[in-house]
Structure 1
């Protein structure tokens, strides 16, 4: 049995060394540019979008990922071995050791990084859907024809499994970037939702991460802010659930204001500040 007691000091030390964040925002708002706020020597970008033009001056390392199989392998190397995994399945000891022996340089590189910037989970679900459509579960057992529901179910399970594996990556802060999409119903009511293939992964993601943050454009209004995604001139990070703007957000740390300046590194420092350093 691998159960053991974790002391308060050890638990707090671990909490200070890692945070999981889902960062959503409309296309073009500047989500990827938050990468430049992170120390280049400590962060690595998992690039699923081939969209790093906006941060071409950032001197950090990146790993391009073009298929879901590669995404699974990278997640395994980042998160290590899952002791609950099927011995012959992904994230198992055998899976990790196979990858580590084949890519020792990549293992050393990832070990030196404390922050993983995944850009983006929107494209991750697209790659996963392409992969899922080729699997046996995506075809009817009776007719052999494609089964869309089966493909979506498989895609959701595998994406959620990958994200949960990254959640448990020891000593790593993981930032998952995604597109935020606006929906207007027949009555003119506007809602904002993460853009991801299927609905299950998007619904479960807030329960996986510590923080959900929405980036958007705002205009100053007195002492506060007015959400103005079309004509706003200032970017803000919306950090609290039940905010006045109706944007997805969650603050498990309890340390963030309703909106914060668009500086991801500063946001992480505020989340992880010790009570002593907070004064």
Structure 2
């Protein structure tokens, strides 16, 4: 039986005190450069978009991923074995042992890291769609013709499964980066939405992660901040749901202000700070 009691000390230990965080922001706002705030020796970047030019002087390790099958394999090595997985499916004992035997260098590298930076979930869903379109589920059983609905359903299931697997990675903080796009409806109302293939994965992501933050440009307005995506010069992280800027955010820790400085390492320290008070 795998059931066990986790004590308060175990739950608050460094290994258990990990965070899953989704970081969204418009293209070019500087999401990837947040790598520079993280400890290079403890961080590994899963690079799905060949987008590390902006951090070419960053001294950490990265793994380039160009297809969804490779993304699944890397997620398996990061997250380990899912005891609930189909014995012949992704993230099973057989899947992990096969990869561990084939890539012992990756196992050693990943084992030594405590932070996984996935850049980006936008490109992950694009790779997943290209993969899903060629799977049997993406074709009609009756006509043999492509079935777009089947492809999107498969994409959603597998992407959500991959992200949930990363969520459970033992002892690892996982940061998932994604593009935020501005959407204007026919009435001129503006909303900001994660740019991902398939609506289901985008809708379910906030429920998977502990924290959702949006990186955006702001201008000072007295003692307050004004969201100013066109002319703002100050990058800030929007951290609370129901914020006055209408940007995606969620703070499960309850420790963050509405906006925080654009420093992921400082944000993680604030989220995971251990109380010194005695109960």
Query: What is the TM-score normalised by the length of structure 2?
Result: 0.98
Give the superposition deviation at 1:30.
0.2
Give the superposition deviation at 1:12.
2.1
* Structure 2 match to 1:229: 229
Aligned-partner Cα distance in 1 for 2:15–2:172: 10
What is the number of residues matched between the two proteins? 277
In the alignment, is the contact (CA less than 8 A) between 1:46 and 1:65 conserved in 2?
A: yes
Aligned-partner Cα distance in 1 for 2:8–2:224: 38
Q: Deviations over 1:55-76 (max 9, x none)?
A: 0010000000000000000000
Aligned-partner Cα distance in 2 for 1:59–1:11: 31
Aligned-partner Cα distance in 2 for 1:218–1:18: 29
What's the C-alpha RMSD, in Å, of the aligned pairs? 1.0
In the alignment, is the contact (CA less than 8 A) between 1:46 and 1:118 conserved in 2?
A: yes
Aligned-partner Cα distance in 1 for 2:17–2:107: 19
Give the superposition deviation at 1:17.
3.1
Aligned-partner Cα distance in 2 for 1:147–1:137: 8
Aligned-partner Cα distance in 2 for 1:2–1:119: 33
Query: What is the TM-score normalised by the length of structure 1?
Result: 0.98
Q: Deviations over 1:158-203 (max 9, x none)?
A: 0000000000000000000000001111111110000000100000
* Structure 2 match to 1:67: 67
* Structure 1 match to 2:184: 184
* Structure 1 match to 2:48: 48
* Structure 2 match to 1:246: 246
In the alignment, is the contact (CA less than 8 A) between 1:15 and 1:272 conserved in 2?
A: no
Aligned-partner Cα distance in 2 for 1:276–1:263: 24
Give the superposition deviation at 1:27.
0.3
Unaligned runs of 5+ in 1: none
* Structure 2 match to 1:143: 143
Give the superposition deviation at 1:16.
5.5
* Structure 1 match to 2:96: 96
In the alignment, is the contact (CA less than 8 A) between 1:16 and 1:273 conserved in 2?
A: no
* Structure 2 match to 1:5: 5
SS at match of 1:248: coil
